[in-house]
Amino acid sequence: MTHPFDRIPELAGVATYASAARVGYSVDENVRRQLRLHWVERRLMAILVAHLTSEPVWEVKCGFALHQWQCAEHVDALRRRIAEMRSPTPRLDVPPEHDETAAALELFLQEVGAAQDTAELLAGIYRVALPALAEAYRHHLEHTNPLVDHPTRRLMRVALMDIEEAVAWGTDALSAVRDSLTVTRYALRAETDDWEAHLRTYLAAAGGIAGDAEVVPVDVTLNAQRVTAGQPWRRWIERRAFDEFTYPTG
């Protein structure tokens, strides 16, 4: 015979007793993944800020402003959680240390930032980087313990909601920019598929956002880096000036 109290959700609704008994990520693995997520959010924030003032399309500029702020919020939440799980706190101002593919992850992010026009930047961030980041968050939510790692899951659910909304906005924005007939040569490229494929190649070389996928080295003869020691990615921003964009008047 059941009691009415049996209908009260278990463990404050955070998890069932069965799911709470499931083994999730170890602390070491949890922090390793969070360090990579933190670095990606931090670098995407910096890329959006760096391109913000030179972005000629007003509505795109507004989107960049919102999403860089959201990235900053995610960075702060992840930083606090990492500090709770590891003392002393690992360095957070450099790519994750003691991570074999962290340098490749940073190179991928540099390539994202090397976009030469609005369409490439939208494609790189909203069709490659953010969807991959969202998938990394989903994977973490699925595999970590729902009870003992509730604080991590809570912050990731918020981040995932923001990212999914950003991706939807970015997809619409890219479609509109591609369809526009009034922009000049530096504001739009008709095709961004090759650029997306280029970026996915560099992401694969990093083992994905979380570093848990198969590492596929980049064939530089087919996918040469835009970013080199002598050509910092910031120089591309100089090509994207307001006077090279004609805003629709009708």
Residue 181: partners with Cβ closer than 8 Å, 6 or more residues away: none
- Predicted TM-score (pTM) of the model is 0.87
**Helices 27-52, 102-113: inter-axial angle, 10-degree rounding:** 20
**Whether the predicted pLDDT of 148 surpasses 70:** yes
pLDDT tens-digit map of 50-95: 999 999 999 999 999 999 999 999 999 999 999 999 999 999 999 9
Domain residues for the domain of 201 are 26-231
pLDDT tens-digit map of 31-57: 999 999 999 999 999 999 999 999 999
Residue 38 maps to a domain: yes
Residue 240 maps to a domain: no
Give the residue, 179 or 187, on which the prediction is more confident. 179
Residue 75 maps to a domain: yes
What is the reported pLDDT for 213?
95
What's the whole-number mean pLDDT along residues 178-188? 57
Whether residue 219 contacts residue 148, with contact meaning beta carbons closer than 8 Å, is answered with no
Residue 231, strand partner residues: 228
Residue 20 maps to a domain: no
pLDDT tens-digit map of 156-177: 999 999 999 999 999 999 989 8
How far is it, in rounded angstroms, from Cα 101 to Cα 95?
A: 10
Residue 214 maps to a domain: yes
Can you state the percent helix, strand and coil of the chain, rounding each to 5? Answer: 65, 0, 35
Residue 125 maps to a domain: yes
Residue 96 maps to a domain: yes
Q: Is the peptide bond before 232 cis (omega within 30 degrees of 0)?
A: no
Region at 218 (left for phi over 0; alpha for psi -120 to 50; beta for the rest): beta
Q: How far is CA 181 from the centre of its chain?
A: 30
How far is it, in rounded angstroms, from Cα 173 to Cα 57?
A: 10
How far is it, in rounded angstroms, from Cα 84 to Cα 115?
A: 36
| Six-digit token string for 168 | 């939807």
Residue 202 maps to a domain: yes
Least confident residue range of 22-26, 75-79, 212-216: 22-26
Closest CA to 198 of 218, 216, 215: 218
- Count the Cβ atoms, other than its own, within 10 Å of residue 95: 20
Contacts of 142-147 spanning 24+ positions with Cβ under 8 A: 143/24, 143/25, 144/24, 144/25, 144/30, 145/15, 145/20, 145/22, 145/23, 145/24, 145/25, 146/14, 146/15, 146/19, 146/20, 146/22, 146/24, 147/11, 147/14, 147/15, 147/19, 147/20
Residue 156: give its domain's CATH number: 1.20.1260.10
Question: How many domains are contained in the chain?
Answer: 1
